[in-house]
Amino acid sequence: MKAFEDCAFDQPVALSADCATLIRTAGQAADVVRSALRARFTIQGLNTILMLERAVLGSEVQEARVAFCSWAANEGLAAHEA
């Protein structure tokens, strides 16, 4: 079975906070959200982590990507496709 960490997004996500780093996998996105949750916990962040960790199928991965982009935008990180 494929681990969520290895599930790649169809299109990478760039965050305005660090455009040099592209978020290419659900695992990378989960790491970003976990890091932010240490400083400021939100229910949306928790739900995003759970969605990213459950993503193993193509459609689930893309839904998790959308949730990650929404979370990042709400956090002022202005996620956009790279």
The per-residue DSSP string of the chain comes to: ---GGG-EEEEEEEETTEEEEEEEEHHHHHHHHHHHHHHS--HHHHHHHHHHHH--SHHHHHHHHHHHHHHHHHTT---EE-
Q: Alpha-carbon distance 57 to 38, whole Å?
A: 28
Give the domain extent around 36.
Answer: 4-81
C-beta separation of 4 from 26 below 8 A: yes
pLDDT on residue 82? 65
pLDDT at 47 > cutoff 80: yes
Kindly indicate the confidence band of residue 58, based on its pLDDT and cuts at 50, 70 and 90: confident
pLDDT on residue 17? 64
Tokens linked to 71: 């979370």
pLDDT on residue 3? 75
**Domain count of the chain?**
1
C-beta separation of 61 from 69 below 8 A: no
